[in-house]
Amino acid sequence: MNEKELDKKIEDELKKDTNSASELKNETWNKINTELFQSPDSHKKKVKKRGIISGLTAAAIVAIAVFGMTDPGQAMIQSLKDMFVEEKEQEIEIEGHKEDSDVQLEANEELRYVIYIDDSRYRMIEGDSSDRIVPEQELADRYPEVSMEIMRKEATTEEMVESIKNSLADNKMELRQEEQVNTPINGVVIRGIGPGYTNEAGKTGQQWDTPIEKYYITETKNNQVFVIKQSYFLEAAEGHGARFDYMLKSFEIVD
């Protein structure tokens, strides 16, 4: 069987296999008609508990948000989560190896952002003023902290850069990077690394468990900034560090 014949056979089989569903057309319409046009409150556009998941663009989301605010009587109050694909597959490269990972949408209505996280490896802990993405399985005590914290601050980029550099200095961390970047997000990155020490084998300098703090600062439209703080350690730079950056690529502010 050649390729064309196979394609045709698959197409025919799918049609044949789904003929019985096609018969549900009238029955399904009756349910829609009742729900939309005949139920007592069908004149209102109801807010559904379960999310509406669609692939609208960010522009459309903003349009909906504006629509929602300007005409509260009729407008749909859409949750952020409703506006993005709930789950998607992402190809990433970790330590030279390509892998597919399923990423899950996380949305924070209050801070107005969304991000996709690899929920097979990480989980989101929501806080009052920030969210933290941490490894799904808690690390043993001998490992330094591994997390990615997302905060929204009433400050300018310059103010945050100053504050972060002071904090790194207070913690005796050495500033290794400070520059404007456009990936994984547009903004300023600041990276600090912990002080070296002499290990049991007599090696002096940075060790496998030397902590690293990496901050991304990106501006919102409302004169605020998002600060994303990544914490990991030297040996985990190409693992957790790279995975955090891949997840951060999907970060989107929805103001």
Under the rule (CB under 8 A), what is the footprint of another protein? Answer: 1, 6-7, 9-11, 13-22, 24-25, 27-29, 31-32, 35-37, 45-46, 48, 50, 52-57, 59-60, 63-64, 67, 76, 78, 85-91, 100
Which of 224-253 are b and which e, b meaning 16 or more Cβ less than 10 Å from the residue's Cβ? Answer: bbbbbbbbbbbebbeebbbbbbbbbebbbb
Nearer Cβ to another protein, position 37 or 142?
37
User: Where is 185: in which H helix or E strand?
Assistant: none
CA–CA distances in Å: residue 223 to residues 92, 129, 152, 181, 255: 33, 17, 11, 19, 11
Nearer Cβ to another protein, position 89 or 138?
89
Nearer Cβ to another protein, position 35 or 126?
35
CB 120 to another protein: min, Å: 14
CB 35 to another protein: min, Å: 6
CB 215 to another protein: min, Å: 28
Helix locations, the chain, DSSP H? 3-17, 19-22, 25-33, 58-70, 157-170, 242-249
Three-state secondary-structure class, residue 118: coil
Three-state secondary-structure class, residue 250: coil
Nearer Cβ to another protein, position 90 or 207?
90
Nearer Cβ to another protein, position 7 or 238?
7
Nearer Cβ to another protein, position 14 or 201?
14
CB 17 to another protein: min, Å: 6
- Residue owning tokens 């891949």: 246
CB 148 to another protein: min, Å: 21
CB 48 to another protein: min, Å: 8
Distance in angstroms (rounded) separating the CA atoms of residues 223 and 38: 47
Closest CA to 216 of 182, 175, 167, 253: 182
